[in-house]
A and B are shown apart, each in its own frame.
Chain A
Amino acid sequence: MGAAHNYEKVRTMANAMEIYKLLPKTNCKECGKSTCMAFAVSLLSRELTVDDCPPLKEDKLKANYGKLSDLITPAQGASESGMIVHEDKCFGCGNCVVACPVNVADDPHGAGIGRAPTSDKVILRVKDGIVRTSNVQECRRFGKDKILCNGCIVTCPTEAIEFV
């Protein structure tokens, strides 16, 4: 079971270095980015897609194109801020709902004090025993000024929330 769990983790938590290793590493700038490392980061944040790298489509790198697509696929189920909720692991404790700084700021007398959310602006809320996302544009990991907030990840007892 442990091995399966690790495998899943590798699948979902691709990092920029893993992606970079599969790129041409020529810094050809054809994608519009100045380096291949910058392209890897853009790929991770889903600003660009694998198809935006023309050299990857050449025969020499075809195999890497397939591997990269596989690596990025799990992220496609994620919300715009890159959040993935593993519904099978979540049991609706609501720790993330109460710990999320955006939820607290938008709903200080509801989610902020541990009660049911009373504002429509909250990002996380529990429905039918599983946490659901809405208003993801409000998430601190979203957009140009994003920061690597991890309030919902570290408070989850079952590792049901991940960001890509």
Chain B
Amino acid sequence: MKRQSMVILLNENYHVCTGCALLCDDIEVITDGKKITEVKTACRKGVSRMKGCNEPMSPTVDGQQVDIDVAISAAANILKNSKSPLIFGLGNSTDGAQKKAIELAKQVGAVLDDTSSFCQGPTLEAIFNDRIKSCTLDDVRNKADVIVYWGADPSNSHPRHLSKFSYFPRGQERQRGWEEDRTMITIDIRKSHTAKISGDKFYQIPLQMDAEFIDALIDALSGKVPKVSFEFDPKRILELANILKKAKFGTIFVGLGLVYSLADMEPVVRLMDKLNEVSNFHLIPMVGHYNMRGFNQNLFNETGYLNRVKFEKGNSTDVQHGAEFSIVESLNNKTVDAALIIGTDPLSSLPRSVAEHLLDIPVITIDPCETFTSRKAKVTIPSALSGVECGGSAVRMDGEEVKFEPIIDVKDQTIRPSDEEILARIMEAL
């Protein structure tokens, strides 16, 4: 799929929040010149990101504090001596940094992957290959009358999702407000905060039963009697199918709850095909990190794959793709001998049995804040907090590009270099 050309322009008083993939662009801040002291309109998640780290990271090599140039050359050395390095992360980096990381991966012949390989990768792959119809969040605000959250709890993961885009705002074709103009449905295994707002439109299903529920829903949409192996009133499935059928502009927001429950995206593709036969439905993945979709799009534009690739050293056209190049498999099979981790914390987010290999190989972390991974890393390089200390562009969860300027004065000498600059300097040192 081609990247959407529309660029969202900023009001000059407003800043962009990089707390999550909603990239809210209506944030006002008050600064004391060096730090943000007050944030207006952003949610608590955004405020905590914009106000900076509790524990900023310092440049270190083997646990000893060093000059940042020393740390960068130590990082270059590790990559130079590695036969098969892993470059992982970049969900919290700007487009510029991601493109630089792809170049670096080509230069050193690295395995390149991001969190999407165990996150929304399958959903995005289906959208990029035009197997599933998608739309923008602005379309949802202006047109959507039926909104479905499936395995997602935006009240906690993307707090402003309901108020800024989906359920509560008035839109061009939805002028009468949420009570009259919109229906919100939540399908989940537990009564989440979001499910609570759905009221009687909350459909609670047992763990791992999403595929079966999808098939029952497809049956109901086809006019058959839906059957499921667990206790669930078929009348309620028919009622749900009726709401979906009558939708003028429906959108399904797919959360990790649904992605993790399915072996592949086929059931979702089937459901979307059926829904578009009888109605008009779109799908948007609930992407977490603010620019994870940007990484997938940048890599897809470059190679035709959105994650899990391996480049051949010095040969920029030779690229391999497969499950064995995901971070999980690379660490499990111990096929990588060094790791460059950018803006993420795999030691915290991956199971111990998988992440353990990271303790045996030299690890370089580039991050503004100290993380569990950075504490165990051989080399740490502190970077600027993107969206606050450096500008750039990022891709919102719906594929829209959002540009942003730094909020703090970048001429300040104490500000750390951006991810992009650090990666460029590592490439120079190589």
Q: Does B45 contact A (CB under 8 A)?
A: yes
Inter-chain contacts of A93 with B (CB < 8 A) = 43, 155, 159-160, 162-163
B164 contacts A92, CB within 8 Å?
no
B171 contacts A113, CB within 8 Å?
yes
In A38-74, which residues have CB < 8 Å from any B CB?
Answer: none
Q: Does A155 contact B (CB under 8 A)?
A: yes
Q: Does B255 contact A (CB under 8 A)?
A: no
In A5-28, which residues have CB < 8 Å from any B CB?
Answer: none
A125 contacts B193, CB within 8 Å?
no
A116 contacts B40, CB within 8 Å?
yes
In B4-50, which residues have CB < 8 Å from any A CB?
Answer: 14, 26-28, 38-48
Complex CA gap A97/B43 in Å reads 12
Complex CA gap A108/B176 in Å reads 12
B155 contacts A157, CB within 8 Å?
yes
Q: How far is the CB of A106 from chain B (nearest CB, A)?
A: 13
Inter-chain contacts of B163 with A (CB < 8 A) = 93-95, 97-99, 114
Q: How far is the CB of A58 from chain B (nearest CB, A)?
A: 46
In A62-121, which residues have CB < 8 Å from any B CB?
Answer: 90-95, 97-99, 104, 108, 112-117
The interface centre, meaning the residue of A94, A114, A155, A157 with most chain B CB atoms within 10 A of its CB, is A114
Q: How far is the CB of B309 from chain A (nearest CB, A)?
A: 37
A128-B47 contact, Cβ under 8 Å, with A95-B168, A114-B141, A114-B169: yes
B41 contacts A94, CB within 8 Å?
yes
Q: How large is the interface on A (under 10, 10 to 19, 20 to 34, 35 or more residues)?
A: 20 to 34
Q: When the two chains form the complex, which single residue of B14, B28, B42, B193 contacts A157, counting CB atoms closer than 8 Å?
A: B193
Inter-chain contacts of A155 with B (CB < 8 A) = 168, 178, 197
Q: How far is the CB of B301 from chain A (nearest CB, A)?
A: 31
Q: Does A136 contact B (CB under 8 A)?
A: no
Q: Does A146 contact B (CB under 8 A)?
A: no
Q: Does B194 contact A (CB under 8 A)?
A: yes
B46 contacts A95, CB within 8 Å?
no
Q: Does A126 contact B (CB under 8 A)?
A: yes
A94 contacts B44, CB within 8 Å?
no
Inter-chain contacts of B352 with A (CB < 8 A) = none
Complex CA gap A129/B43 in Å reads 4
Inter-chain contacts of B141 with A (CB < 8 A) = 113-114
Q: Does A164 contact B (CB under 8 A)?
A: no
A127 contacts B38, CB within 8 Å?
yes
Inter-chain contacts of A158 with B (CB < 8 A) = 155, 193
B160 contacts A94, CB within 8 Å?
yes
B196 contacts A157, CB within 8 Å?
yes
- What residue in chain A is nearest B197 (Cβ atoms)? A157
Q: How far is the CB of A109 from chain B (nearest CB, A)?
A: 10
The 7 closest A-B pairs by CB, nearest first: A114-B169, A129-B44, A157-B193, A116-B26, A129-B47, A93-B159, A92-B43
User: Residues of A at under 8 Å CB distance from B?
Assistant: 90-95, 97-99, 104, 108, 112-117, 125-130, 155, 157-158
Q: List 20 A-B contacts (CB under 8 A).
A: A91-B43, A91-B44, A91-B45, A91-B155, A92-B43, A92-B47, A93-B155, A94-B159, A99-B168, A104-B170, A116-B14, A116-B41, A117-B41, A125-B40, A125-B41, A126-B42, A127-B38, A129-B46, A130-B44, A157-B197
